[in-house]
Structures are given as C-alpha cells and as structure tokens.
Amino acid sequence: MTKQFSVNVLNNIISNFEKQGKIFTNEKQLQFELAFALKEKGYFVECEVLSIGQDELCENYKDKKLYTDIVIDLGDNNYVAIELKYKLLQKKIIYNVNGKKIFAFSQGAHNIGSHDFLSDIERLERITKTNRKDRLFFQFNPKNKVIKSFALIFTNDKNYYVPYKENNNLNRDYKLVGEKHGFIYSYIAVDEKDKKIYRPKTSQKEKIIPIKSKEDCYKYCGKINNNKLPILLTGTYKCDWKDYNVAMCANYGEKNYPKFKYLLLEIDDN
C-alpha cells in the first residue's frame, strides 16, 4: 500500500521549525533535522541515497556519482525525493535564539548557489518526469517511480531573491526570482580584443556570450566548469519565497539584520 505525501507535510515541518526558533549551522544539520521530523511523522526515510550511477550519467556529470539528500519510501516502489540547499551570507552572523548565540557562517557565492539549486531541479526532473528524453531510472530500477520531488533552499542572503536593478549582470538568469523555465544559461563577456572578462557586471561596449554547451565552456573558460553549464527545466517553477522568522541578530542593527527566507518547489510528472 502506497503512503500519501504532499507539500503540506514539508510546510508543516518548516512551520514547526520556525516556532521552535531553529537556525541551522550548515546544510547537514538541516538535512538531519528534516529527516528526523519526517520519520517522526511515520515515514520511512533515508539520507544520501545513491540515486544515479556513473553508467547512467549524462556527459555533464561525467565521473561523478549523484546522491539524493533525502528519499522517502512510500511503498510499492513509489518514492519522494528531496534536495536541500542552505546558503548563508558571506559574513559571520550571530543570531540570538532562546538566549543562546548561534553563529551562521558563509556557505559560498550566491551565483554558484543559485546554479546548484537549479541544477538540483533539473536532476529531480530527470528522475521524476517520464516525458523527459534524458530521463534516468531512480536507483537504476525501471520499476521504481519517484511520484514527486521537492527542491528546498534556505538563505539569509537577499542576493538569491532580490532582482538585479540592471540587466547587464552575467549571472542574471540564475536569480531565483519570477518563473524559471526552459534553458538557463550563464554568460561571459568578451571585449573588442577577445579578452575574457569574468567580473559580474559588464559595460555596453563588451559582447555578452551565453555558455550553451560544454564546447563553449572549453572555448571561453578553458575547461569544463559545472557552474557554467546550461540547465534545462521542462517544468515551470514560480519562485514564491516565504519568510522564516526565527531570531534577532546580535551583531547587526535591529532593522537591517539578514532575515531568513525559504523557497520550496515541487516537481511532479505533469
């Protein structure tokens, strides 16, 4: 018998985290806390499940084994897959939680973090959507079916969800704002002498070129860079960020301290 699961289960768990004032020091802690909460609700949960092996990988993921952060076994070969990202501002932030100081340290650049999150969605589509031409069988078994999957990101860095004021940023398509669908490219700027420019913003005199393939990566970057490879999303995902109100900040002003938000996206077989 297949156990039922919906996005409301995750929303209720996140709401309970918020009421408890939980701030996670890193992604692993978020993974553990979420898996434990799911288990308490009666679900059979596994973490770091090898979902795609080397022989099934597309060339973009060559020489890598890919694991799914959380997998829920619903029975009858039906599964739910969850990918997590926990990205913090590139500064040391101290939060006051129930009289205790919680240190939140940087979790990497926001453009790379956004690309990684979108890549998670692409990979979840490949094990969830049966109409994708590059579909992969979950855990190498054609009988297994991921009936739905979820991508969840927590952050206190507004660079993930506040749109750029100008459209000349090379990372503009990675922004987790509006709707995400279709091909999502990174860009590189080239000046009149064909010199590559890696800084985020460009001037009108520079030619902006999308990185559309691994060949483009070789040509303009000199190597395969997974953070610049294009992403294809066949579904349409609305980036509806929600507040995660947990704590005041000890080393910032009362009005300007970095507040947490989260984005939870569902991937199904439609």
The predicted model scores a pTM of 0.86
* Full 3-state SS string of the chain: CCCCCCHHHHHHHHHHHHHHCCCCCCHHHHHHHHHHHHHHCCCEEEEEEEEECHHHCCHHHCCCCEEEEEEEEEECCEEEEEEEEEECCCCCEEEEECCEEEEECCCCCHHHHHHHHHHHHHHHHHHHCCCCCCCCCHHHCCCCEEEEEEEEEEECCHHHCCCCCCCCECCHHHCCCCEEEEEECEEEEECCCCCEECCCECCCCCEEEEECCHHHHHHHHCCCCCCCCCEEEEEEEECCCEEECCCEECCCCCCCCCCEEEEEEEECCC
Distance of CA 264 to the CA centre of its chain: 9
Per-residue pLDDT of the chain (270 residues; tens, 9 = 90+): 789 999 999 999 999 999 888 888 889 999 999 999 999 999 999 998 877 654 544 544 444 567 899 999 999 999 999 999 999 876 667 776 666 666 666 666 788 889 999 999 999 999 999 989 888 888 778 888 999 999 999 998 888 988 876 665 667 788 899 999 999 988 777 766 655 554 545 555 667 778 888 777 777 766 666 777 889 999 999 999 999 987 666 555 556 667 889 999 999 998
Burial class (CB in 10 A: 0-12, 13-18, 19+), 197: middle
Residue bearing tokens 């490949």:
126
Contact of 84 with 30, CB cutoff 8 Å: yes
